[in-house]
Chain A
Amino acid sequence: MADRPVLVLTCLDDPTSDVVITELCRRGIAVVRLDPGEFLAGRVELAARFGPGALSGRIRTPTRVLELDSVRSVYYRRPSPHAIPAGMDAQDGRFAVVQARYGLDGVLADLGCRYVNHPWNIMRADFKPAQLNAAAALGFQVPPTIVTNSLDEARRFAAEHGPVVYKPLRAVPFAVNGDRPAMVWVEVVEPSELDERIALTAHMFQARTLDKIADVRVTVVGERVFAVRIDSPCLDFRQDYEKVAYSRFDLPRPVADACRGYLSHFDLLFGAFDFGLRADGTLDWYECDPAGQWHWLEEETGLPMTSALADLLEGE
C-alpha cells in the first residue's frame, strides 16, 4: 500500500529525523512523527485493540492519526522519556510512567513491521559488556578492558596494560559548576590518579591504542557500510570539532563483514561503530552505538547515508 506511513519516534528537537523525514516526503511516503514523551502531557491519544485477529486501533498525535495495523516501518530515534506531569503526586506519577511505558511503548514495540532499530534490541546492544563480548567473538581487535569496582584490580590492570583510559559504561546527563553540561573525555589515566572512590561503583578501564593515528567511524545502514576517517589533535575528537578533519576511509572487507555480523547478532539494522586506527593499518574496536549520530558525517563527506536509511524505511 502506497500510503502506509513510516512512524518516526523522536523528540521535537532532532535535526537528524528532520532530514530523514524530508527525504521520505520527497519520495512520496507518508510520515507520522510521534514523541511518546507527550503521552503523559495529554497530547497523544492511544486506543489499541486486541482479541481474535491482529492488533487494530489508532494513535492520535496533535497533527496525525496513525492506524496501528498500517505502519510501514518505525524509525526509533530519540523519543523523550515519559515525564511525570506537573501537579501529579510523585507516587501517582511513577505509576503513570510505568503504565505508559508498558502500555504505549508496549504497543509501539509490537507493530509487526521493520524497526530501525527495535528499542529492545537497542537496549540490549547498549551494554558495554555485551558489546565487548560480541566484538571479541566476531574477531574484532578488542583492547584489553576491565570493568571493576576494585582499586587493587584497577591498579593491577593499569600496571599490566598501561597507559589506560577511563570510559564510563554509559553516558549520563551530568552538570558541573551549577548547570554546565559535562561529560567524560577519553583521556589517559595515570596510576596515581586512581583512588578508593573506584569502589563506589563500576568503572571501565581500557588499554590505550598504541600508535593510534586516527579514529574511524563506521556507520552501517542495513547492508550498506559507510566508513569515515576522523583526524583530530585530541585523543577524544569530540573535545573540539573545529580541529577535526574528515575523509572517506577504505574499510577492509573482513571488518565490514564483521560489522554486519555484529548487527545481525543484536538484530539491529543500524549501528555506529567506533574504531582506533593504528599505524599498521589495523583497527582497534571501541564500541558500537545502536542509536549513534551520523548525519554530520554525511555533511562532511557526502556519503549518502540519508538515502540509505530512507531505503530501509521505505522497504522493498
Chain B
Amino acid sequence: MTYDPLSHRPWGATRMTPVTGDGRPSYARIELNPDTQVARYFDAAGRLIQAGKHGTNKPQTVSQPTGGSKDGEDPSNPDDVNVTQYVPD
C-alpha cells in the first residue's frame, strides 16, 4: 500500500480556501506616534497614508510579517507563530 499524504490531512483543513487579495498589507512601514499613541502608516515611498486608507477592520484573515493575535494569552499555544490572526468570526 502506498502512502497517501492526502489521507493524513484533517477533513476540515481540506476546506480551506484562499481569501481574496494576496493578504499583503497596503503599507510598507508602521510606527507609533509617541504623542497620540496612534499608529502612523507609510507607503513604500515613505509617504504618510491617510487614516482609514490602510489595512482593514473587517472580519477576515490577514497574514502579516509582524505578530498580533486574537489571544496572546492562550496558555496551550506555543505562540512562536508570527502570523496575525484577524478574527475571522
Contact = CB atoms under 8 A, between A and B. Distances in A.
- Do A and B interact? yes
Interface string A215-233: 0000000000000000000
Given A13-B68, A289-B89, A173 B37 contact: no
B88 A238 contact: yes
A173 B63 contact: yes
Interface in B35-89: 36-39, 51-52, 54-64, 66-75, 77-89
Nearest to A295: B57
A62 interface: yes
A239 B19 CA distance: 8
Nearest to B16: A182
A241 B37 CA distance: 30
Interface in A169-215: 171-177, 179-185, 187, 194-198, 200-201, 203
A81 to B, nearest CB: 4
Contacts, number: 211
Interface residues of A, number: 78
A133 B74 CA distance: 21
Contacts of B54: 15
Nearest to B21: A181
Given A181-B18, A183-B61, A8 B37 contact: yes
Given A97-B79, A238-B58, A37 B67 contact: yes
B38 A81 contact: no
Contacts of A97: 78-80
**Nearest 10 A-B pairs (CB), nearest first?**
A11-B68, A80-B67, A181-B23, A63-B34, A79-B72, A81-B79, A197-B11, A173-B83, A289-B89, A182-B16
